[in-house]
Structure 1
């Protein structure tokens, strides 16, 4: 089975994939100092809880936007799974799609992998919205080429900045306000309205502008942990695909091994 690893700025996601089907997934906070041995102890226990063992893994692919985390993840693969990992975007696992931007080397691995998966499932012009540490909006044309996009602060980052800069504002949870009124009666109500509906307005406004600039029929795909929450309060998305990045890694692994 394939172990697909998506190392983001906030979390590292490990997923066990068999024939493109995700059979198990686990998440741990990103810490570039975490050693291969620490990953191995944690993963060994979780694999066992799902009825698997390390011996069931015969391939590893890694996508990371945290360069310092790559070394320990590579050691994890070679030492504990006895395989040389494929690193998304490397010579052994090239993207296989056109990155039609002036500085293709600066595009985050997660964004390219999302583009690969989205185009494989939807053969049309696409906007992929990924709710992570940052919220990214990526444009993929009907040929599968990555055309560029938008980077905005994630909603948790926005809330953290607000609370840390305003001494009297309380910490609140990321959730939809209890009703649709945008006149808050308490400080917490006002914060919920500003953070949540403000974010929905930003998201819908940027998608509207992207649609207008593309000028052709476009599908909007959402991924990331908060996509389901926002989908319940907006009709801007055509599909919710929370496992888009892992599915893209699975596709990239298949293409790379076939090429080799």
Structure 2
């Protein structure tokens, strides 16, 4: 079995895959924990081993591990987890046998985040033609992948929770609110909380739709929009801009990289 680890700025996601015939991988479980670079391999182990036990999975059943991280300080302790508790040398996305093997057609290819590269790989494997991948994470990223699977560039915008934190943190009287779809269809709020929610939510939808329209115009060809990340489902009901919503795109990309590495 494969353990895929996606270490993001907010959460570290652990996912368990089982391979069938060919490259088909079935997601058997996923768990997340808040990202903390100070968390030791031992702490990860105590938490993860209990979750695996609840699923009836022996740690000896995991014979392959792959890690993607955008938090360099977190990598060392994750590697310790893999070596000490699973006796597996982990693959690192973008390195060695887990090299991306796609054309990264930007000014500084080495600066591309592992999550965005892996998203590009998974999106191209699952969808044909030109693609725009929108990933709702700590930041919201828009990535352009052409019909040959080459990464052509993208956009980085503040995530909606970052935007809300900035609004609340820099004003004296605005309350903290939860991100959710506003009630009804009116964009004129009648109280402070509704006005904040409308501004953040519908403002974000307008930003997203506007940027995607500009990207499509620049590409000059039809392009499918694939949404991923924790808040993708929330926005799916508010716009018809998405052609597909795939919350596990990054994890599936890691499974693709791991399968290719195993075949070498």
Bin for the TM-score computed over the shorter chain: over 0.9
Partner of 2:135: 130
Give SS of 1:38's match. Answer: helix
Alignment of 1:187-206 (within 5 A): 187-206=192-211
Of the three residues 165, 168, 171, the one matched with 1:160 is 165
Larger mean Cα displacement after TM superposition, 249-258 or 199-208: 249-258
Partner of 1:3: 3
Partner of 2:18: 18
| 1:84-114 deviation digits (Å, cap 9, x = unpaired) | 0000011231101000001000000000000
Give structure 2 stretches of 5+ with no counterpart.
20-24
Matched residues in 1 for 2:28 and 2:262: separation? 21
Matched residues in 2 for 1:47 and 1:254: separation? 22
**1:257 Cα deviation from its structure 2 partner:** 2.2
Partner of 2:183: 178
Matched residues in 1 for 2:4 and 2:180: separation? 30
Of the three residues 231, 235, 257, the one matched with 1:230 is 235
| 1:67-94 deviation digits (Å, cap 9, x = unpaired) | 0000000011011110100000112311
Is 1:91 matched with 2:96? yes
| 1:105-126 deviation digits (Å, cap 9, x = unpaired) | 0000000000000000012100
Matched residues in 2 for 1:176 and 1:203: separation? 15
**1:155 Cα deviation from its structure 2 partner:** 0.1
Of the three residues 37, 51, 57, the one matched with 2:62 is 57
Matched residues in 1 for 2:27 and 2:239: separation? 28
Give SS of 1:92's match. Answer: helix
Partner of 2:32: 27
Give SS of 2:96's match. Answer: coil
Give SS of 2:29's match. Answer: strand
Partner of 1:147: 152
Partner of 1:218: 223
Of the three residues 109, 120, 123, the one matched with 1:104 is 109
Matched residues in 2 for 1:54 and 1:229: separation? 35
Runs of 4+, deviation exceeding 4 Å: none
Matched residues in 2 for 1:69 and 1:92: separation? 21
Matched residues in 2 for 1:54 and 1:254: separation? 19
Is 1:241 matched with 2:246? yes
Partner of 2:22: none
Give structure 1 stretches of 5+ with no counterpart.
none
Question: How well do the aligned residues superpose, as a CA RMSD in angstroms?
Answer: 0.6
Matched residues in 1 for 2:185 and 2:169: separation? 27
| 1:123-173 deviation digits (Å, cap 9, x = unpaired) | 210000000000000000000000000000000000000000001000000
Partner of 1:254: 259
Matched residues in 2 for 1:189 and 1:84: separation? 50
| 1:29-82 deviation digits (Å, cap 9, x = unpaired) | 000000000000101000011111211111100000000000000011011110
